[in-house]
Structure 1
């Protein structure tokens, strides 16, 4: 049997150590993601870390250093495609970018353990967990800081697509809904789109709360004659 010929106890023990470390470190990373109910949680991060470690360890045992580098490069690419699967677009919002990045980092942890760089793998794990926990309050605090209009120019627009015969009513409702939400309008333009007309209201405000504009859009979408309503922002540094 080829197994008897190729089996070496010390190499097997090294593989057990590498995959075991990948399992433990992947569990630490995944536990934080699972706690926050992310799409890619405990099991996914563990499997990514262990898989990356297994491929890297296999290349190290049967190939050369060049082969190991090739395997790691392909692991990076493969996990990139896997991470794309957890990114979701909901209207104007994109979710899952941080989870996808965490999966990518889990693969890096696995690759390090597969290459017997356990200390480096532990360091990467610590940085990943710190980035997903310690930096959360800082990110939230930054998000609440009003935009510096001298450093950046941000414009917000609310768009309503309505039937041609209901343009006047839709325009009035659009302005009224925004003013009631304390978002004064600087200008309202219209453009024909076949049998429909798109109204675009540009806001005076340079800082908005997304939930408030979402409520305005939902209210406008329910109006008779309105086919679609949404809002968007444009930033120019």
Structure 2
């Protein structure tokens, strides 16, 4: 059994909460239905469960139990994402896919924080912020270039 000290627990849970919150802040700034509080809690909760499971494994290893916990988290987070996507709106359009993907990402970042994979967390968070920042303008440019649908929504 691996016993983590207080500073390690604070680091892993704090970074997971912060990473989820940063992704949520982008969604909130764009007026989307999921924000920093929700995605911060997603990151925190996934990191908490994974950290708990990792404590019972050999150092540096992910046990079968931890693997099953991670699988359960990723399955369960799909329901949260579905709740963001499936809602009645005018013309019954599918909306909220990016917000649902951000909930999934917050969960993945929480898992990575829970197992202490800091390089993965940093790179994934940086790439996500780049995509969320410049993704829409690039989509519009490509649609204009190739004559696709330039839907502003």
Task: State the match for 1:70 in structure 2.
Answer: 68
Aligned structure 1 segments of 4 or more residues deviating by more than 3 angstroms: 207-210
Give the deviation of 1:124 after TM superposition.
0.9
Would you tell me which structure has more helix in proportion to its own residues? Answer: 2
Separation in 2, partners of 1:41, 1:140: 24
Task: State the match for 1:146 in structure 2.
Answer: 147
Q: Secondary structure at the match of 1:86?
A: helix
Separation in 1, partners of 2:41, 2:150: 40
Give the deviation of 1:28 after TM superposition.
1.5
Deviations 1:17-39 (A, max 9, x none): 10011122122211111111110
Does the C-alpha gap of structure 1 residues 143 and 43 become closer, same or farther in structure 2, counting only changes over 3 Å?
same
Of structures 1 and 2, the larger Rg is shown by: 1
Taking structure 2 as the reference length, what is the TM-score of the superposition?
Answer: 0.84
Confirm whether residue 23 of structure 1 aligns to residue 21 of structure 2. no
Deviates most, 34-43 or 23-32: 23-32
Name structure 2 gaps, 5 residues minimum: none
- Root-mean-square deviation (CA, aligned residues, Å) is 2.2
Q: How does 1:38-187 map to 2 (within 5 A)?
A: 38-63=32-57, 65-87=63-85, 88-90=87-89, 91-144=91-144, 145-147=146-148
Whether contact under 8 Å (1:21, 1:118) holds in the other structure is no
Whether contact under 8 Å (2:45, 2:110) holds in the other structure is yes
Whether contact under 8 Å (1:53, 1:114) holds in the other structure is yes
Whether contact under 8 Å (1:18, 1:114) holds in the other structure is yes
Separation in 2, partners of 1:89, 1:123: 35
Q: Secondary structure at the match of 2:34?
A: coil
Bigger relative contact order, structure 1 or 2 (CA pairs below 8 A, ≥6 apart): 2
Separation in 2, partners of 1:126, 1:62: 31
Name structure 1 gaps, 5 residues minimum: 1-7, 148-206, 211-237
Aligned residues: 143
Whether contact under 8 Å (2:13, 2:113) holds in the other structure is yes
Taking structure 1 as the reference length, what is the TM-score of the superposition?
Answer: 0.56
